Amino acid sequence: MKNFPVFVFPVSLEFYLNARHTHKQLLTVYNPYDFSVNFKVLCTSPNKFTVIDPEGIIAPQSCIDIVVRYTQPSIAHCNTTEKFRITMFDRNTQQALGKRDVPTKLIEGEPSNTNPESLGDNFHPLATKAAPIRPSEEHSRVICNHPLHHREQQPINVVAVAVSICCIAALLLPTQPEQVVKSQWPEWLHIGSSLKLVFAFVLGLVSMLVLRP
């Protein structure tokens, strides 16, 4: 026999004597491999159980449900462990690939609805409603998301401001070709028209840099 893992869920079965709905349960056998396999179900006490379709074929990467019914529940059979064995076979050679044993037990009484994992801890459901936003938080969120706020937070470019002032001052100076009678400006402060165009162009670039969002 090869040692292929056989995947079965659940790993054990529990039948309850006084709960008839537990006398019929499902065993799911998985075939995660890329080839079809044959399966066969055996039991240590076949007189106590009925298995519908105890053998068959499982397609690649598929699963199959096996119906197991406890047919002779009695107080004499309680707390006795029986076993089901699921064996997989190669479809071509009929060689056994692997097996899995599933223990079963008939328990006196009825199943308890208490989850043993939750004992000792006091768990409560969480509220799904979003917490209300305080007025101060709402105001701060609006300010942070406003584009003007980002502009105000940007540091002022001192160099750009200085260049803008120099360009404005140069544009206010008299033009060189003008003949000003008794001018209060010295001749060296008179600049040409082409130079004023350069200052105006620089002032426009600096203004776009400073005023852009």
User: For the chain, what are the domain ranges?
Assistant: 7-110, 148-211
Average pLDDT, integer, range 122-135: 61
> pLDDT tens for residues 13-59?
999 999 999 999 999 999 999 999 999 999 999 999 999 889 999 99
> pLDDT tens for residues 129-188?
655 655 555 544 544 444 444 444 455 567 777 777 777 777 676 666 555 445 565 665
| Choice between 174 and 63, residue whose per-residue pLDDT is larger | 63
Residue 143's pLDDT is 46
- The answer to whether residue 84 scores a pLDDT higher than 50 is yes
According to DSSP, residue 115 is labeled -
CA dihedral over 175, 176, 181, 183, signed as positive or negative = positive
Average pLDDT, integer, range 119-128: 61
Tell if the pTM clears 0.85, that is, is over it. Answer: no
CA dihedral over 49, 52, 56, 61, signed as positive or negative = negative
- Residue where the block lists tokens 């692997």: 98
Superfamily of domain 7-110: Immunoglobulins (2.60.40.10)
Q: Report the C-alpha dihedral over residues 107, 112, 113, 119, rounded to 10 degrees.
A: -120
Residue 132's pLDDT is 61
